[in-house]
Structure 1
Amino acid sequence: MKLVIISLCLAAAVVAQEKYDSIDDNFDISEVLNNERLLNSYTKCLLDKGPCTPEVKKVKDKLPEALATRCAKCTDKQKQIGKQLAKEVKAKRPDLWKELVAHYDPEGKYQEAFQDYLKP
């Protein structure tokens, strides 16, 4: 019985430490933020208004879970990229930001958690 409990605890610890794939951690977010065409293309994908590149599709697929878990599975680099992207889009493209928020958080249930996430 003790072995079963220890095994379950170890399995839970491994699952809890699971992170999203870090292959794309070297993604240059400034390239997207400084390129209006690229930013619009990525946004259309995220809002289900246009086609997705494989990289953006991966983000899109994980975004609901990341919002719900306060990015618990994100690597430090992914958190940094997410914060930079959110802050810059919110400041420079508030119209776009509102669309994204309305699409991914129509009930506003992640707002408090997201504001905490954006703090330095």
Structure 2
Amino acid sequence: MKLIVLFCLFMFAYAQDKYDGVDIDISEVLSNERLLLAYSKCLINKGPCTPEIKRVKDKIPEILETNCAKCTDRQKYLGKSLVKQVREKHPNIWTDMVSYYDPQGKYQKEFQEFLN
């Protein structure tokens, strides 16, 4: 019984060290220009936010500072896919995001390593 309690406590502590999942269909966002634009405007304080995107937005500074240390493997994979698609197909949105979240370029090297 003690082992089960310890295991449950460990799993609870581990779960607290990772970000909660956000229910966003990345492929839907990338295939819907209007939705992508709305979400990107939210992220740079130029438009309203849905609760899900607001949760993501609130974590972006910490994600950049820690190089996504609290991200699950799935979140890292989805984040990399999303960034690569946006940089390639929507460079203006990418430029706006970088200008907003990293105007001095202090995260560029680590972020590029993360993407590779």
TM score, norm. by length of structure 2:
0.84
Shift of 1:77: 1.0
Q: Which residue of 1 aligns with 2:106?
A: 109
Shift of 1:81: 1.1
- Tell me which of 51, 54, 57 is aligned to 1:57: 54
Following the alignment from structure 1 to structure 2, what is the Cα–Cα distance between the partners of residues 53 and 27? 11
Give the 5 Å matches for 1:74-89.
Answer: 74-89=71-86
In the alignment, residue 57 of structure 2 is paired with which amino acid?
K
Following the alignment from structure 2 to structure 1, what is the Cα–Cα distance between the partners of residues 85 and 97? 13
Aligned to 2:103, what secondary structure does the other structure show?
Answer: coil
* Structure 1: 5+ residue stretches without partners: 1-13
Give the total of aligned pairs.
103
Matched, 1:21 2:14: no
Matched, 1:71 2:58: no
Give the 5 Å matches for 1:6-45.
Answer: 18-22=17-21, 24=22, 27-45=24-42
In the alignment, residue 56 of structure 1 is paired with which amino acid?
I
* Structure 2: 5+ residue stretches without partners: 1-12
Q: CA RMSD in A?
A: 1.4
In the alignment, residue 55 of structure 2 is paired with which amino acid?
K
Does the 8 A contact of 2:26 with 2:78 survive in 1?
A: yes
4+ aligned runs moved over 3 Å, structure 1: none
Which deviations, in whole Å up to 9, do the C-alpha atoms of 1:65-116 show, x marking residues without a partner? 0001000001111111110110000000111111100000001000001100
% identity of equivalent residues: 60
Shift of 1:27: 3.2
